[in-house]
């Protein structure tokens, strides 16, 4: 049994296409698959209009922790890091 203080996150199963693609992207970046998915999530506000995502959000209590809440310095650093790797 897990301690009451541990956080639990929903971990969806990848489709075969997503698993194959993320694995190959991770190999090319020299990163683990979870680290690669983390980078992909952090880069999404640069691809998708954050205001559109925020308007459809159903949980406004997590805005400070959400990649779409604001384009933070962390997101900009992630983009710079990815550009350097590529």
Residue 7 located in a structural domain: no
Total structural domains in the chain?
A: 1
11 contact partners, CB below 8 Å, separation of at least 6: none
Residue by residue, DSSP assigns 70-85 as ---HHHHHHHHHHHHH
Residue 70 lies inside a defined structural domain of this protein? yes
In tens digits, the chain (86 residues) has pLDDT values of 455 566 767 777 899 999 999 999 999 999 999 999 999 999 999 899 998 999 999 998 988 889 998 654 455 565 565 566 55
- DSSP-based helix, strand, coil % in the chain, nearest 5: 65, 0, 35
Which range marks the domain in which residue 21 is found?
16-85
Asked if residues 65 and 33 have their Cβ atoms less than 8 Å apart, the reply is: no
Per-residue model confidence (pLDDT) at position 17: 96
What's phi and psi for 4, nearest 5 deg? -65, -20
- In a domain? residue 8: no
Question: Per the domain annotation, does 6 fall within a domain?
Answer: no
Residue 2 maps to a domain: no
- Looking at residue 22, its pLDDT comes to 95
Q: Which pLDDT value is given to residue 5?
A: 60
């Amino acid at each position: 049994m897990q301690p009451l203080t541990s956080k639990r996150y929903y971990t969806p199963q990848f489709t075969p296409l997503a698993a194959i693609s993320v694995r190959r992207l991770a190999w090319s970046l020299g990163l683990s698959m979870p680290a690669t998915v983390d980078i992909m999530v952090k880069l999404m506000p640069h691809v998708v209009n954050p205001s559109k995502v925020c308007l459809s959000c159903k949980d406004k209590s997590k805005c400070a922790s959400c990649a779409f809440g604001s384009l933070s310095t962390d997101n900009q650093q992630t983009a710079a890091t990815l550009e350097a790797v590529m």
